[in-house]
Structure 1
């Protein structure tokens, strides 16, 4: 009887102790599991924070920047292009065109004060004409395809079907890539051949002050400033083409040559430089076309046949005309 009572007492003492130990072990295990889960969440957050920040990891791939999952510079460059570069390009195209249209409607073309003489003298050689028109044609092809690539999704895509848009954007990209080398060669020939005639002189400053003599009203009316073979506006256009054309050529090659394997930062910088340079070239091209076609009476004939009217030469390029007249080097058209 005594032994039975003793066993009962021991059981009463041991059972609570075992239960309390079990509860303690369970609490410790639950706490460790919770800590591990919290640590896992923290590690995941740190990992994705690093990935989004552009941190590099480890990979067996040997490609350029293959160890970077998200390139921050690429995303930032895309935002700059979409939010700033594309709108500026649209404003530049429309703004410059509208400004010169308004000027033409108000001012009219620049007439020859003495009219046409009927005597045509040589201004450009056949080689010059070929270089000009090959470069002009390739440049216009690049401008229109480039505008479609940059602005087409905002202007054309909403109005055409998916199939037509796909063909347009694919065709623009293909033409842009294949016409590029033609522009590069003609641009290089143009720069090398015409650079000696593009140095600025002191009288070029007056050309800007009187707006080249193209204004038909007010105090500038009838003011025909001195000008050499190229006037100050043509010189400014040439150097814009030479400098920003170089940027376009180099950045374009960086974008289309697959063997370069450039870092994403370099590729995005090349894309932005290409776009900015293109905006400047497009603006100058619009001005150049306006000046050569409707604003200068007799001006277009120069680049069509290579010959200009003698009165046109005397009015718009008097310094050059006086030089060839004094040197007796005028070549008249038969």
Structure 2
């Protein structure tokens, strides 16, 4: 009897407690947002503009670690950099690369493939040695992979990711990043070799003016005289040396950001790296076109190293004269053409 009475009293007390607590629990939110009261970016930007330092300054907080730069919460220049990197950079790259592809397509369908006017002579002349071809393909091979992996950073999430899916794209991007970081070094080495070996042939001279005035034989008729490298090739050479040098310098800063001299300097070199890269890629597309499908006999120069004598006389007549004068232009048993 006592046990039953006690049980009834305990159940009654529990019911009263639940009844009293119910209104209180009903007032509690069903879910809690721990960041609901946190400071938003817009509030920080307003504080930055209205604060004592004035607009354009860095908004800093308080820290207890040795790295003073970690106190910077907002740097307005970073907002401008992000806007450029995620906006204007995409447009510059797309216009430069797609624009070049469009121009080459128009050129091909209007001008067609540039043929050897006098036909193949059957006589070969050595244009580039084995070492020259090696440094060309070392630099070119690295540049192609660097270009593709770099373009993946800028356009990959818009173009490649939807095709491959997130997991496959993440694996590809990781591998591309590793290739980009490591192939930068042989690319730089190739630039040094190219400069040392070919700079003497790429100093501008008066024949370049004539070549430019006649459109290099690419437009109109005739073939203007040229030495080992014509004016167009000299433009490519200096674009590769100067542009490649800027890519190398900015790339080293991006690989070792502590050496860049601060966040603003790092953002500057990041922009330089991206802009120079897309412009150089556009130029290399034109170079690849002319050196392959765009001109008959041109690809032989960097494959076997020997080109047809008639091709050489049409596009590099002054260089052919120099080689014939040295008596080492033609293979044994070959007769010089008139």
Verify the 8 A CA contact 2:48 2:59 in the aligned structure 1. Answer: no
RMSD, matched Cα: 2.4
1:113 and 2:117 aligned: yes
Moved more, 44-53 or 109-118: 44-53
Q: CA deviation at 1:57?
A: 5.0
Distance 1:311 1:145 in 2: 39
Verify the 8 A CA contact 1:227 1:320 in the aligned structure 2. Answer: yes
Distance 1:64 1:123 in 2: 58
2:243 corresponds to: 244
Verify the 8 A CA contact 1:64 1:262 in the aligned structure 2. Answer: no
Distance 2:235 2:297 in 1: 21
Distance 2:218 2:49 in 1: 62
Q: CA deviation at 1:298?
A: 0.3
1:266 corresponds to: 265
Q: CA deviation at 1:327?
A: 2.9
1:73 corresponds to: 77
Distance 1:106 1:45 in 2: 57
Count of aligned residue pairs for this structure pair: 288
Q: Which has the higher helix share?
A: 1
SS in structure 1 opposite 2:122? coil
Verify the 8 A CA contact 1:141 1:176 in the aligned structure 2. Answer: yes
1:133 and 2:132 aligned: no
Q: CA deviation at 1:306?
A: 1.1
1:88 and 2:92 aligned: yes
1:300 and 2:299 aligned: yes
2:190 corresponds to: 186
Distance 1:56 1:49 in 2: 14
Q: CA deviation at 1:59?
A: 3.4
Verify the 8 A CA contact 1:65 1:263 in the aligned structure 2. Answer: no
Distance 2:295 2:67 in 1: 55
For the structure 1 residues 258 and 207, does the alpha-carbon distance in structure 2 shift closer, same or farther, using more than 3 Å as the test? same
Verify the 8 A CA contact 1:77 1:268 in the aligned structure 2. Answer: yes
Moved more, 63-72 or 86-95: 63-72
SS in structure 1 opposite 2:307? strand
1:176 and 2:175 aligned: no
Verify the 8 A CA contact 1:251 1:273 in the aligned structure 2. Answer: yes
Unaligned ranges ≥5, structure 1: 1-41
